């Protein structure tokens, strides 16, 4: 289903657009609905569109020759899938797909480049997001190497809750194990421990965060570090209420 909108407040970067730049984005773009695991970009394929999540969450993953995957980046309402375009490339070395279903604003790559050239504010927001995203990727690499699956599971759930704007989202143990690059059995044990502690509730492929403060106390320092990197680009986070 494709619909039109007139309000960009659902995405921190698009919300900076004013006047003729905003009119151009509205004229050339459209809302699309992403489903779970729907492809966004494939490695080395030409990038034709930029996506700005309005509720959907996108994952950037590294895939090994044996098919194993691990998430190396998460994109939500604070950002865009179009970082390769920002850096002057028209392809991505990594695969990306939808992690949590929802809406996103789709914009032709040519329109995106035009806005980058014409709007200093848009470029400024993109540069700030790029810096935060690169720092996040580095922090998550260290996290995946040094911290327990229990801590990483709590961190991933918090980051996803921030970006989805709520305390409930669809999730299976299989998908979480892919995101964390861990065996499904280890992720199942970690999720069970978080549920037993009263921090989350898991049922029928849906996670509900019951105690955010408990999760924040459980996770490693990487959650706070990565959140602070985005600053006011994560200004939509207050929509997530503590239970």
pLDDT in tens, the chain (243 residues): 445 566 788 899 999 999 999 999 999 999 999 999 999 999 999 999 999 999 999 999 988 888 888 888 899 999 999 999 999 999 999 999 999 999 999 999 999 999 999 999 999 999 999 999 999 999 988 998 899 999 999 999 999 998 888 899 998 888 888 788 888 888 889 999 999 999 999 988 899 999 999 999 999 999 999 888 888 776 554 333 444
Q: Which two structure tokens, joined as six digits, stand for 241?
A: 């209420």
Separation between Cα atoms, residue 160 and residue 243, nearest integer Å: 16
Architecture per CATH, domain 146-239, reads as Orthogonal Bundle (1.10)
Which contiguous run of DSSP H or E holds residue 63? strand 57-63
Domain map (residue ranges) of the chain: 2-137, 146-239
pTM to 2 decimal places: 0.88
Alpha helices per DSSP H over 53-105 = 83-86
Q: Coil, strand, or helix at residue 136?
A: helix
Separation between Cα atoms, residue 124 and residue 145, nearest integer Å: 32
- The pLDDT of residue 181 is 80
Separation between Cα atoms, residue 171 and residue 178, nearest integer Å: 11
As assigned by CATH, the class of the 2-137 domain is mainly beta
- The pLDDT of residue 172 is 84
Cα dist. 128→135, 148, 227 in Å?
11, 30, 13
């Amino acid at each position: 289903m494709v619909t039109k909108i007139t309000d960009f407040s659902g995405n921190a970067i698009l919300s900076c657009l004013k006047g003729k730049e905003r009119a151009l984005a509205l004229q050339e773009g459209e809302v699309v609905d992403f489903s779970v695991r729907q492809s966004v970009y494939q490695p080395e394929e030409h990038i034709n569109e930029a996506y700005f999540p309005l509720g959907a969450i996108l994952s950037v993953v590294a895939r090994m020759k044996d098919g194993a995957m691990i998430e190396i980046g998460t994109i939500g309402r604070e950002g865009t899938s179009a970082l390769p375009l920002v850096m002057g490339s028209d392809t991505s070395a990594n695969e990306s797909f939808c992690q949590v279903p929802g809406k996103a604003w789709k914009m032709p790559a040519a329109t995106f480049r035009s806005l980058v050239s014409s709007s200093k504010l848009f470029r400024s927001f993109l540069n700030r997001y790029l810096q935060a995203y690169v720092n996040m990727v580095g922090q998550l690499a260290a996290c995946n190497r040094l911290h327990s699956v229990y801590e990483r599971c709590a961190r991933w759930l918090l980051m996803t809750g921030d970006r989805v704007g709520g305390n409930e989202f669809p999730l299976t143990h299989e998908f979480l194990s892919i995101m964390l690059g861990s065996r499904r059995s280890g992720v199942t044990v970690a999720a069970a421990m978080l549920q037993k502690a009263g921090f989350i509730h898991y049922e029928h492929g849906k996670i509900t965060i019951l105690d955010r403060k408990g999760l924040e106390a459980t996770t490693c320092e990487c959650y706070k570090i990565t959140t602070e990197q985005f600053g006011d680009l994560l200004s939509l986070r207050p929509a997530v209420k503590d239970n």
